[in-house]
Structure 1
């Protein structure tokens, strides 16, 4: 019995700005700072390799001094809207009715809402009253793949069932106006908002991308590498500059043993579906994969077009691959990293 990814869809918030359009907002935000520091911040934005990003709120409001409560209220309202749209779009793409879903996983780390998003979707889209729900809130950028892993395990244990994974993030809602640290500046330069939905099935009649294997990898003694600190002003980004080097030092252990367990080598992988964490991470991983004759062009393109949308981003990369209809039986490796510090891996057969 196999578990397959039926389809992937994405949904974007209403507001968007190019990086060039955001620079004037930086000048207002950084007023009073040293000129040298202002030039450095602008350069970080200009060199982040993000041409455009989307937001649940107008950039003017992002750079306005408001409370955590105000920003989180916007997050809750807009996440519900995006969740409804992206799940409805996915169900129509798969030609499934809402009452066919048996399992719903919602993923987000950039706001706080109780009840969680899945409860709202059950009501608005009239999902079944006995649907099994799982909100995933604290796994950061890795959670898009984590959600697929949880769905796969549920479906493997329950043949003939269907699941939805909905990842929605709004990093702009976490921007700290009074924080001039490199972590806050770099995250603001690379992050954007977005939503994605993956539908999966263990029904033998459903066609799709087969999940061959999945695994998590946890780095010891790197708890403080990445995450959020809950402060009176909201969720404050924690982002260690050593993240790219830490990934590089563990790369062989993350990739090769996982493939070997499935009787594969990196040369057997046709498609690399990698989370675009940021320019430096992409450069390091690209160099590592280039040694094996691989590229991560789609990862770079997603970063350029949308920025890093935390858990949803790797699903945007996955959508690009699926929609290109890769050669039958070609294999793909999904890879993302997140707080903990951890790596998530999935082996796919198209």
Structure 2
């Protein structure tokens, strides 16, 4: 691998030319959610209030005749996944293309990433029809990989863009996390319900000399899986509630943190770079303890992860698209200089740490 000529393995290195995000209409503070669902257990209240999250965008269940929120069936949750996902995905794609100064007719590859429901055909086909993208557009759906999946998808999109210079490739992370909630009053489900929010994020890649020099090159991606923590994050079928229920092991933050140095080391291996050469760190907003554990193990400052913590505060954990919300905030800051390096890091089921290296 070389970091000097704009090519990797003989192919032109793709650049990230734009990003766009989409959200549901309504957002709620943590205290508002506790009131809406009548949560009085002080242990659960402390989970909601102690996670460094102030507000999340959610698609809550409809209100019943008695003024309380209805209990949704798995079928209703699946329809919520599809309808909410399509609305958010469309907004994210349209915003991204506007930022890239491109049209829907320019999209030649569409990758959709989601873990909050299972539908066939997938979001790539549904969005193609919804938006009027050309029917010969190449497609990919990445389903069920969890919070790390945005970088798994980005690896595939980058490879396609590199192999098709001058053709626009899009990845859209679509996560209607409120379609995967179970309200049973247990601490297991309350941790999940206190953490995740709904959101979509789209990113455009182009491998071409015409791509703006201000757009960062995607130089390298790596994966690191921790097999001994395979069951630490998972979907289980809940027979009692007849729906899927997400499980997060309390040890997840420490497992991820303990492996973060190895994952980043593998990313930087052979590049001639060390961690002190990285100007910007965009880490998945997996939760306060996860962020703190990664930060301590990598020797990062609170300033280094300001966008990660800011996204967690304002949106909660947005699953696969979280890191793109942080990327959007980095762009808005207008502090990136030519030659800066950025590390992207996502974590999720497997347990898995995905990383990517950008050069501006």
User: The residue matched to 1:49 in structure 2 has which SS?
Assistant: coil
State whether structure 2 residue 224 is matched by structure 1 residue 214.
no
Which residue in the other structure is 1:340 paired with? 350
How many angstroms apart in 2 are the aligned matches of 1:22 and 1:286? 29
Which residue in the other structure is 2:267 paired with? 258
Find 1:322's aligned residue among 307, 328, 331.
Answer: 331
Which deviates further from its counterpart, 55-64 or 334-343?
55-64
State whether structure 2 residue 208 is matched by structure 1 residue 203.
yes
- Residue-by-residue CA offset, 1:169-209 (whole Å, 9 max, x unaligned): 122111112361x3311111111111111011112201211
Superposed structure 1 runs of 4+ greater than 6 Å apart? none
How many angstroms apart in 2 are the aligned matches of 1:279 and 1:68? 30
Which residue in the other structure is 1:39 paired with? 42
Which residue in the other structure is 1:126 paired with? 132
Which residue in the other structure is 2:230 paired with? 223
State whether structure 2 residue 249 is matched by structure 1 residue 240.
yes
User: The residue matched to 1:263 in structure 2 has which SS?
Assistant: coil
Deviation of the 1:43 alpha carbon? 0.7
**Unaligned 5+ residue runs, structure 1?**
31-37
State whether structure 2 residue 199 is matched by structure 1 residue 189.
no
RMSD between aligned residues:
1.9
More helix by share: 1
How many angstroms apart in 2 are the aligned matches of 1:293 and 1:76? 36
User: Does the CA contact (< 8 Å) of 2:283 and 2:344 recur in 1?
Assistant: yes
How many angstroms apart in 2 are the aligned matches of 1:152 and 1:341? 23
Deviation of the 1:286 alpha carbon? 2.0
Which residue in the other structure is 2:85 paired with? 79
How many angstroms apart in 2 are the aligned matches of 1:133 and 1:269? 33
Deviation of the 1:292 alpha carbon? 7.5
How many angstroms apart in 2 are the aligned matches of 1:228 and 1:187? 11
- Per the normalisation by structure 2, the TM-score is 0.90
Which residue in the other structure is 2:59 paired with? 56
State whether structure 2 residue 118 is matched by structure 1 residue 112.
yes
User: Does the CA contact (< 8 Å) of 2:232 and 2:349 recur in 1?
Assistant: yes
How many angstroms apart in 2 are the aligned matches of 1:124 and 1:25? 33
1:144–1:20 CA distance, 2 compared to 1 (3 A): same
How many angstroms apart in 2 are the aligned matches of 1:249 and 1:289? 9
1:113–1:165 CA distance, 2 compared to 1 (3 A): same
**Unaligned 5+ residue runs, structure 2?**
1-11
User: Does the CA contact (< 8 Å) of 1:63 and 1:177 recur in 2?
Assistant: no
Deviation of the 1:227 alpha carbon? 2.0
Which deviates further from its counterpart, 283-292 or 1-10?
283-292
Which residue in the other structure is 2:14 paired with? 3
1:256–1:15 CA distance, 2 compared to 1 (3 A): same
Corresponding pairs, count: 341
User: Does the CA contact (< 8 Å) of 1:64 and 1:177 recur in 2?
Assistant: no
Which residue in the other structure is 2:30 paired with? 19
Which residue in the other structure is 1:149 paired with? 155
User: Does the CA contact (< 8 Å) of 1:289 and 1:295 recur in 2?
Assistant: no
- Per the normalisation by structure 1, the TM-score is 0.92
1:321–1:143 CA distance, 2 compared to 1 (3 A): same
Which residue in the other structure is 2:292 paired with? 283
1:345–1:295 CA distance, 2 compared to 1 (3 A): same
How many angstroms apart in 2 are the aligned matches of 1:330 and 1:60? 50
Deviation of the 1:64 alpha carbon? 2.7
How many angstroms apart in 2 are the aligned matches of 1:74 and 1:280? 29
How many angstroms apart in 2 are the aligned matches of 1:216 and 1:80? 29
Which deviates further from its counterpart, 269-278 or 314-323?
314-323
How many angstroms apart in 2 are the aligned matches of 1:197 and 1:291? 27
